[in-house]
Amino acid sequence: MPWKVCHATAFEPEAHLVKGFLEHQGIPCLLESLRFAMDPVRTGSLGTIRILVPEEWVPVAAKLISHRTPRPQRQPQPPGPRVITVDFQRRRRATATPRRPRIDS
């Protein structure tokens, strides 16, 4: 049974999360780390951790991983500028009520 790569990442915690996710779904998988342990290189092919699954499980695993990965959500567009009309004459009349005299005790 040949094993094929279904996902690759540079981060070890992510690789373990994906492996656990696939195993929870019943898909057998292995991790293959190409990283040299003494040197903390995490770029390019020297820092890649690959998740391997049996060849017949590759389409299922790839689909599950793609649905698990959050897609960027669109931010709602704010509405255009609104014009607020204020009747200042009416506001002045409403606030121009006579004041009650102050009573000192």
Measure the CA–CA gap between 15 and 4, rounded to whole angstroms. 15
Higher pLDDT, 48 or 55: 55
| Lowest mean pLDDT segment, chosen from 15-24, 29-38, 65-74, 86-95 | 86-95
Higher pLDDT, 73 or 38: 73
pLDDT value, residue 88:
72
pLDDT value, residue 25:
92
Closest CA to 61 of 29, 89, 98, 99: 29
Measure the CA–CA gap between 53 and 20, rounded to whole angstroms. 12
Measure the CA–CA gap between 65 and 7, rounded to whole angstroms. 8
Domains of the chain: 3-68 (3.30.70)
H/E run at residue 53: strand 49-54
pLDDT tens-place string over residues 53-100: 999 999 999 999 888 766 667 777 677 777 777 777 765 655 555 666
Using alpha carbons only, what angle is made at residue 38 by residues 48 and 7, rounded to the nearest 5 degrees? 15
Q: Check: pTM over 0.95? Answer yes or no.
A: no
